Amino acid sequence: MARRASRRKTFTTALLCGVVFAMIGLSFASVPLYRMFCQATGYDGTPRTAGVQHPVQVLDRVVRVRFDANVNPALPWRFTPGQRSVDVKLGAETLVYYTARNNSDRPLTGTATFSVVPEKAAQYFSKIQCFCFTEQTLAPGQEVNMPVVFYIDPALDADPDAGDVREFTLSYTFFPAETDSGRSPVVGTADQATKTRGWAAEPSGSG
């Protein structure tokens, strides 16, 4: 009897330990999983990522997209949109550029976060290509144009809750991407990181 009770106690202890370790694993995975969920659904103001697919239907309805750029104070970069706004038809694939310059005397790697407002319509803003998908490394004094290719899903037009949206704002913020040692890793130049479907980061020409 005592042996059976001891076995039950051992089994219960092992089960509880397994639950605890599973919860710890989920807590570490929650951040990347949450980001993937947001990018797939447009939740919490995060635009969807559409890979290389885009709708074939283009509507006559036009919306305005404004562009915003910010840099964390810890990263000595200058970062600006190449255009303040563009007017686009729903479903039309659009290419725009942001410009980034490393104002320091050493190579630095940055990573960009992004959001779209209004949040109620963010799920319809789909990015096909973006410098924010990967880390970007700039040499000292290097300045590059970074492309963004996007479209506004025509389904916006039929949404009773978001169909009245006439304007979007796409906002990016660059942060330093640092290793545990505090030095930025070299993960490839901005030109290498953004090459896809024939578009690539390119020198701005301003030196």
pLDDT tens for each residue of 134-150: 999 999 999 999 999 99
Place 163 in a pLDDT band, splitting at 50, 70 and 90. Answer: confident
* Encoded tokens for 167: 């304007």
Residue type, 7: R
Q: Residue 190 pLDDT more than 60?
A: no
Provide φ and ψ at 76, rounded to 5°: -80, 60
* Encoded tokens for 165: 């949206």
CATH 2.60.370.10 fits 48-203, yes or no: yes
Triad 106, 109, 115: Cα angle to 5°: 140
Q: Where are the domains of the chain?
A: 2-41, 48-203
pLDDT tens for each residue of 62-118: 999 999 999 999 999 999 999 999 999 999 999 999 999 999 999 999 999 999 999
Distances (CA, A) of 157 to 52, 61, 73, 89, 162: 22, 8, 39, 11, 8
Q: Report the alpha-carbon distance of residue 86 to residue 100 in Å, rounded.
A: 20
Tell me the mean pLDDT in the region 115-125. 96
* Encoded tokens for 181: 């040692």
Tell me the mean pLDDT in the region 19-45. 44
Say how many CA atoms lie within 13 Å of 138 toward its Cβ.
29
Q: Report the alpha-carbon distance of residue 146 to residue 201 in Å, rounded.
A: 5
* Encoded tokens for 147: 């492309």
